[in-house]
């Protein structure tokens, strides 16, 4: 046994000892207490305590029961001959790689490993492997039991072959988080015990008796997150009495399961975004008519038999704390990952804590994409000419994709380094609008770009085009048929030309130099003509819109009798969006992103017809929705910002 006085600081719910104890592992690992363990007093364990390394059960028992704060490291295979029962306070227990607590006893008196007695409080246990002799219904003991224990976080532990159970909870234990733990049975069960069950691979009992209302009512509140009930688990995953239990992003795939989640007396179980793969009875009723509730919310059931509906009516975790879930389709791959999934997968260094970093994503982080490299994401090249290489980096998502590149241009994606490199030589002519997106995040990120490939010898541009309104005439005019419009035009840069569509008959477009075109003439048809002018031949496309309204009559009353309107001139915009409006008072406009967040809100008073320009310069490229209200009518249109 070695001891060392060591100052540990607690920062952002992380213990530090030269190296962060709450290290970043899986990109989805929050590396801190979650859920119910944060609602009263978040456990800090042995913060600012003494570093101790133990190699035998006697020393472990001693330091678990000592007064004061300790960080206890388990080294090697430590044999326990009878259950260690202690009141444990202000302790952090960390298993070094390859360490384990094991007990070969399989009798009532000899079985079991750790028992935290009533009064235990403020405990953290991580990366500990428990190994027992195998399930045997002899009224024996559990691998781990908490009795009247509060404010405890159990993380990245591996529970194997408990005689009575793998990890049980009772007698008013409360404010508990169990994260990234693995429950399994590797040894065949033993029949013939005094309890009568031939197969007692019953892994987690939460509440020991229906008659224990006095101690358990309102208690046993627990969050299980990213846990794995693996092969060999038969029942109780968990079976709950009295407590409010939140099971989020967990994995069930034991092919021998009789049932998974058991709702007992006065229990309330909320199972969220959890994956059930090839199991029997994800839900079982053990309430005996005494108000046991279980709700499945956004769970995945694949090749399952039995009840996948639950009862509904369980508590809502967000009433007590906030905790985001990943999609259930991702759970199996994340939780069963042999490198950083559930179980004792942490890299712990003696008196330094957990030292291996990971992806660093938490469920509250949105994915991000950042452009890298010297090449422009919008560029124009001649066919069979290499593009200027560029790329992207991303964060807070496991993967990324690139779609829409021309033949000959490739995206090299490195998921480990989270980098994308785009390079190559296009072998086809055309405009290729490509999309870069993260995948697998709670909120993914998307960026757009364009590669224009022209025939050999064509002019190319390296900067994005511009388009500017010119002339005294408005781009939104109302006239009577037979009357000329007030002439107007547009100039451009970094493009070969511009193109008009949607103008009424009678108007002509004429060149005014090499970089400007003007519109003039007298319309010969009546109606409202929404026109668009766009650049062509640049590395991207810029467009603007306007309206020419031509009345058939000069009668003012008749001409103004048309219904008020408001609409988006073009659904594809660059630096600004144009709303075509006819109104007699206040209009309200909002722009939302794809996640429903308000990006822009404005009010304008408009009398008559007008083209309202809204700057989109500060908005990232992507899909948005523009909502407007006029005369009690609500209009929502899709808008794509392309830069």
State residue 20's pLDDT score: 35
* Res. 71: pLDDT tops 70: yes
Q: 434-448 burial string, b = 16+ CB within 10 Å, else e? A: bebbbebbbebbbbb
State residue 563's pLDDT score: 64
Q: 479-505 burial string, b = 16+ CB within 10 Å, else e? A: bebeeebeebbbbbebbbebeeeebbe
**With contact defined as beta carbons under 8 Å apart, do 441 and 395 qualify?**
no
* Secondary-structure percent of the chain, ordered helix, strand, coil, rounded to 5: 5, 45, 50
State residue 365's pLDDT score: 61
The 368-372 sheet, strands edge to edge: 368-372, 390-395, 419-424, 409-414
**With contact defined as beta carbons under 8 Å apart, do 23 and 13 qualify?**
no
In sequence order, the 6+-apart residues with CB closer than 8 A to the CB of 113 are 80, 83, 84, 101, 102, 103, 130, 132, 141, 142, 143, 144
Most confident range (mean pLDDT) of 6-20, 288-302, 485-499 is: 288-302
Confidence of residue 555 (pLDDT cuts 50, 70, 90): very low
pLDDT digits (tens, 9 = 90+) for 386-439: 999 999 998 888 788 999 999 999 999 988 788 999 999 999 988 899 999 988
Long-range contacts of the stretch 589-593 (C-beta < 8 A, 24+): 589/614, 589/626, 589/627, 589/628, 590/626, 590/627, 590/628, 591/616, 591/619, 591/624, 591/625, 591/626, 591/627, 591/639, 592/624, 592/625, 592/626, 592/627, 593/622, 593/623, 593/624, 593/625
**With contact defined as beta carbons under 8 Å apart, do 62 and 84 qualify?**
no
Q: What is the CA radius of gyration of the chain?
A: 33
Helices of type H across 477-547: none
Confidence of residue 561 (pLDDT cuts 50, 70, 90): very low
For residue 446, the surrounding DSSP H or E stretch is strand 446-454
CB neighbourhood size of 206 (10 A): 27
Confidence of residue 459 (pLDDT cuts 50, 70, 90): low
CA distance 234 to 175: 26
Compare 513 and 256 and report the one with higher pLDDT.
256
CA distance 450 to 304: 46
Residue with the two structure tokens 């906030």: 322
Beta pairing class for 174-179 and 222-225: parallel
Among residues 268, 154, 147, which one has the least CA distance to residue 212? 147
Domains and CATH numbers, the chain: 2-349 (2.160.20.10), 377-454 (2.60.40.10), 461-562 (2.60.40.10), 563-643 (2.60.40.1930)
* Res. 615: pLDDT tops 90: no
What average pLDDT does the chain have?
87
Mean pLDDT on 106-117? 97
Q: What is the dihedral of CA 166, 170, 174, 179, to 10 degrees?
A: 10
Per-residue DSSP letter, 36: G
CB neighbourhood size of 321 (10 A): 14
* Res. 544: pLDDT tops 90: yes
State residue 540's pLDDT score: 79
**With contact defined as beta carbons under 8 Å apart, do 579 and 564 qualify?**
no
* Res. 281: pLDDT tops 50: yes
Residue with the two structure tokens 């079985």: 111
Whole-model pTM?
A: 0.59
Most confident range (mean pLDDT) of 11-25, 157-171, 414-428, 458-472 is: 157-171
pLDDT digits (tens, 9 = 90+) for 38-68: 998 999 999 889 999 999 999 999 999 999 9
Mean pLDDT on 457-482? 82
Among residues 104, 348, 100, 341, which one has the least CA distance to residue 230? 341
Compare 454 and 631 and report the one with higher pLDDT.
454
State residue 441's pLDDT score: 72
Among residues 486, 458, 457, which one has the least CA distance to residue 472? 486
CA distance 114 to 121: 15
* Res. 583: pLDDT tops 70: yes
In sequence order, the 6+-apart residues with CB closer than 8 A to the CB of 221 are 36, 39, 174, 175, 176, 243, 244, 245
State residue 424's pLDDT score: 95
Compare 453 and 592 and report the one with higher pLDDT.
453
Residue with the two structure tokens 């388990």: 74
Beta pairing class for 527-536 and 516-521: unpaired
- Sequential DSSP letters for 222-285: EEEES-EE-TT--B-SSEESS-EEEEES-EE--TT-S-SEEE-TT-EEEEES-EEES-B-SEEE
């Amino acid at each position: 046994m070695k001891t060392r006085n060591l100052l540990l600081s607690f920062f952002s719910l992380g213990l530090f000892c030269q190296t962060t104890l709450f290290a970043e592992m899986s990109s989805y690992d929050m590396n801190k207490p979650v859920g119910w363990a944060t609602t009263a007093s978040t456990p800090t364990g042995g913060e600012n305590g003494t570093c101790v390394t133990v190699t035998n059960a006697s020393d472990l028992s001693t330091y678990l029961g000592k007064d004061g704060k300790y960080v206890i490291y388990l080294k090697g295979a430590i044999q326990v001959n009878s259950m260690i029962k202690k009141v444990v306070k202000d302790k952090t227990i960390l298993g070094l790689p390859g360490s384990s607590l094991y007990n070969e006893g399989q009798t009532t008196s000899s079985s079991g490993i750790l028992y935290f007695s009533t009064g235990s409080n403020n405990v953290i246990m991580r990366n500990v492997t428990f190994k027992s002799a195998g399930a045997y219904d002899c009224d024996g003991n559990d691998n781990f039991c908490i009795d009247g224990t509060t404010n405890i976080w159990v993380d990245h532990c591996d529970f194997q072959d408990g005689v009575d159970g793998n990890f049980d909870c009772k007698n008013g234990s409360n404010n508990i988080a169990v994260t990234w733990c693995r429950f399994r049975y590797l040894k065949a069960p033993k029949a013939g015990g005094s309890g009568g069950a031939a197969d007692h691979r019953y892994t987690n009992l939460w509440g020991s008796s229906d008659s224990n209302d006095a101690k358990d009512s309102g208690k046993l509140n627990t969050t299980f997150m990213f846990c794995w009930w693996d092969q060999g688990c038969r029942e109780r995953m968990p079976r709950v009495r009295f407590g409010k239990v939140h099971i989020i992003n967990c994995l069930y795939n034991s092919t021998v399961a009789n049932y998974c989640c058991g709702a007992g007396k006065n229990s309330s179980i909320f199972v969220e975004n959890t994956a059930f793969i090839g199991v029997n009875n994800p839900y079982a009723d053990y309430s005996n008519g005494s108000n046991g509730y279980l709700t499945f919310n956004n769970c995945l059931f694949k090749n399952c038999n039995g009840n996948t509906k639950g009862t509904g009516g369980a508590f809502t975790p967000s009433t007590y704390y906030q905790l985001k879930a990943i999609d259930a389709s991702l759970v199996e791959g994340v939780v069963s990952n042999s490198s950083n999934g559930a179980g004792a997968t942490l890299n712990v260094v003696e008196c330094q804590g957990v030292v291996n970093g990971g992806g660093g994503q938490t469920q509250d982080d949105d994915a991000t994409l950042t452009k890298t490299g010297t090449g422009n994401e919008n560029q124009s090249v001649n066919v069979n000419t290499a593009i200027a290489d560029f790329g992207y980096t991303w964060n807070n998502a496991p993967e990324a994709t690139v779609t829409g590149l021309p033949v000959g241009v490739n995206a090299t994606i490195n998921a480990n380094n989270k980098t994308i490199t785009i390079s190559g030589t296009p072998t086809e002519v055309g405009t290729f609008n490509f999309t870069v997106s993260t995948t697998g995040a709670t909120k993914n990120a998307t960026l757009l770009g364009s590669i224009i490939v022209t025939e050999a010898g064509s002019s190319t541009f390296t900067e994005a085009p511009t388009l500017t309104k010119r002339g005294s005439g408005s781009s939104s005019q109302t006239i009577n048929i037979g009357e000329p419009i007030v002439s107007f035009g547009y100039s451009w840069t970094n493009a070969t030309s511009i193109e008009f569509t949607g103008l009424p008959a009678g108007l002509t477009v004429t060149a005014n130099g090499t970089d400007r075109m003007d519109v003039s003439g007298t319309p010969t048809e009546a109606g409202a003509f929404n026109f668009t002018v766009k650049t062509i031949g640049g590395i991207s496309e810029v467009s603007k819109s306007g309206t020419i309204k031509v009345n058939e009559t000069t009668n003012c009353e008749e001409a103004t009798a048309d219904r008020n309107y408001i609409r988006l001139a073009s659904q594809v915009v660059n630096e600004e969006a144009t709303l075509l409006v006819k109104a007699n008072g206040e209009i309200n406009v909002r722009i939302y992103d794809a996640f429903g967040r308000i990006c822009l809100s404005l009010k304008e008073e408009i009398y008559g017809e007008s083209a309202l320009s809204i700057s989109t310069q500060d908005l990232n490229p992507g899909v948005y929705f523009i909502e407007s209200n006029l005369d009690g009518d609500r209009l929502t249109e899709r808008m794509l910002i392309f830069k």
